[in-house]
Amino acid sequence: MKETPIDYQTVKRIISESQISSVGSASIREIKRLITDIEEASGTKFIRMEMGIPGISAAQVGVDAQIEALRNNVAAIYPDIDGLPALKEEAARFCKNFLDIEVSPASCLPTVGSMMGGFATFMTMSKANPKKDTTLFIDPGFPVQKQQHKVLGLKLETFDVYEYRGEKIREKLESILSKGNIHSMIYSNPNNPTWICFTEQELQIIGEIATKYDVVVIEDLAYFGMDFRKDISKPGIAPFQPSVAKYTDKYILFISSSKAFSYAGERCGMMILSDTLFNTKYEGLVPFYGTPIFGRAIVYGAIYCLSSGTSHSAQYALAAILKACNDGTYNYLDDVKVYGEKAAIMKKMFVENGFKIVYDTDIDQPIADGFYFTIAYPGFSGEELLEEFLYYGISAISLGITGSKRTEGLRACVSLVHESQFPDLEYRLKKFKEHHS
């Protein structure tokens, strides 16, 4: 038997004790638990690339504002369901400064993370028009949003965008949207899990086809501005974060604070509705929400039912962070660009040891270095590779659970890997190559 970096028998035992039927298709949280158990049993630290947890400290300007708000007793008071006025103002300014779009503060709604933004959106969108009962996922995507559909009993369709980049996405979208059953479509940009970034041309096509078929575009900007090939960090100055909001007038944007501002723990993000969508009347909403107006239904129906608003003190934090970005006193991208630097080094190590990057280009440009990248090894399916990696002290998740058709691949997340672990990573990859050449 070959000597693997983590003792073979220990890994085998922990896998069997975990009662996970197939490690390769386990959820992110299951993998996290399993790795922690193997680390404890073997006494060896993994190169942990399975979960997208921010690897740096929370934006200080937010922490300070939140502490001050708590001292001022906001914890005792229910926040307004549609959000703190100062946060709504700063969010609208942020949209103007960093997306170059106009939205009114009324259309900027805090949610308990983008996770809840998604839940509220799907609950509301699915009731808007009785003739349209399906969400389209432009995949690969964030698996939990599909789980949200499952628990709500909602229909979805999906396709892997890998084969449909550039102009090719037009025909694909036409073929699906022309059936008439799609109420909205969702994607993340930059994309979790592949880090592909749609070009302006692709966003324009998505916007045009959505407008043609009256489909709402849900653009998940969880990694706002983190395509480090362009510096979008100067308020009011081009380039801006590319967005479909330039090309259609019925959209919902999710601006998460979790990764951009490392504020994941406080569960406070922004959901931005276009003013047009906010004010659109859908008769299908009336039996469920008592109003046909989409914006009122989502605020006083969905968000009210789900959580009656968002943590009061965290809203003060996010308002202060957005204000500092808007005023140009805080450049959040300076804090997070380390993810891109780490990705460049780690990708090189993988490629030098026989791996390939699965989603490797944005049409004609090499993919950016960022929070995630995708890898495959000749002769392995993603699920097999994920399991084999456990013996080498490396963890990731299988692309299969993200809606990707490239089932040979894994998603690797750079955030929790410390630079001091790079020599270990290199050693383990070399061993892997040695054992599997």
Under rule CB under 6 A, residue 242 binds ligand PLP: no
| H/E element, 12 | helix 8-18
Under rule CB under 6 A, residue 52 binds ligand PLP: yes
CB 315 within 8 A of CB 87: yes
Q: Which of 82, 160, 220, 369 binds ligand PLP (CB under 6 A)?
A: 220
**Min CB(220)–ligand PLP separation in Å:** 5
Please name which of 191, 184, 200 lies closest in space to residue 100, comparing C-alpha atoms. Answer: 200
- CB atoms under 10 Å from CB of 437, counted, come to 8
The dihedral through the CA atoms of 283, 285, 291, 293 has a sign that is negative
| Closer of 209 and 253 to ligand PLP (Cβ) | 253
Under rule CB under 6 A, residue 79 binds ligand PLP: no
**x/- map, 95-134, ligand PLP, by CB under 6 A:** ------------------xxx-------------------
Distance CA 387, CA 262 (A): 30
Under rule CB under 6 A, residue 148 binds ligand PLP: no
Phi first, then psi: what are they for 28, rounded to 5°?
-60, -45
375, β-bridge pairs: 357, 410
Pair of tokens at residue 2: 């070959």
Distance CA 274, CA 291 (A): 18
Distance CA 51, CA 371 (A): 11
| Closer of 220 and 383 to ligand PLP (Cβ) | 220
Give the nearest residue (CB) to ligand PLP: 113
| Closer of 11 and 217 to ligand PLP (Cβ) | 217
Looking up tokens 């200080």 gives: 60
- Using the CB atoms, write b or e for 232-263: b if 16+ within 10 Å: bbebeeebbbbbbbebbebbbbbbbbbbbbbb
Restricted to residues 27-46, the positions that interact with ligand PLP (CB under 6 A) are none
How far CA 110 is from CA of 21, 118, 306, 432, in Å, comes to 39, 12, 13, 45
3-state secondary structure of 254: strand
Under rule CB under 6 A, residue 380 binds ligand PLP: no
Distance CA 283, CA 127 (A): 9
| Closer of 11 and 417 to ligand PLP (Cβ) | 417
Counting residues that bind ligand PLP (by CB under 6 A) gives 13
Restricted to residues 272-301, the positions that interact with ligand PLP (CB under 6 A) are none
- Please state at what angle helix 312-327 crosses helix 60-71, rounded to 10 degrees: 140
Q: Which of 46, 122, 137, 142 binds ligand PLP (CB under 6 A)?
A: 142
**Min CB(424)–ligand PLP separation in Å:** 25
| Closer of 115 and 161 to ligand PLP (Cβ) | 115
| Closer of 113 and 393 to ligand PLP (Cβ) | 113
**Min CB(267)–ligand PLP separation in Å:** 7
Q: Which of 110, 269, 382, 409 binds ligand PLP (CB under 6 A)?
A: 269
Q: Which of 188, 243, 326, 404 binds ligand PLP (CB under 6 A)?
A: 188
**Min CB(193)–ligand PLP separation in Å:** 8
Max distance between CA atoms of the chain, in angstroms, equals 67
| Closer of 269 and 400 to ligand PLP (Cβ) | 269
Q: Which of 107, 192, 326, 381 binds ligand PLP (CB under 6 A)?
A: 192
| Closer of 113 and 382 to ligand PLP (Cβ) | 113
**Min CB(114)–ligand PLP separation in Å:** 4
**Min CB(195)–ligand PLP separation in Å:** 11
Under rule CB under 6 A, residue 256 binds ligand PLP: yes
298 sits in the region (left: phi over 0; alpha: psi -120 to 50; else beta) called: alpha
Under rule CB under 6 A, residue 340 binds ligand PLP: no
**Min CB(131)–ligand PLP separation in Å:** 28
Phi first, then psi: what are they for 48, rounded to 5°?
-90, 110
3-state secondary structure of 302: helix
Please name which of 242, 236, 240 lies closest in space to residue 191, comparing C-alpha atoms. Answer: 242
Under rule CB under 6 A, residue 158 binds ligand PLP: no
| Closer of 69 and 120 to ligand PLP (Cβ) | 120
| H/E element, 244 | none
Which spans of this chain sit near ligand PLP (rule: CB under 6 A)?
Answer: 52, 113-115, 142, 188, 192, 220, 222, 256, 258, 264, 269
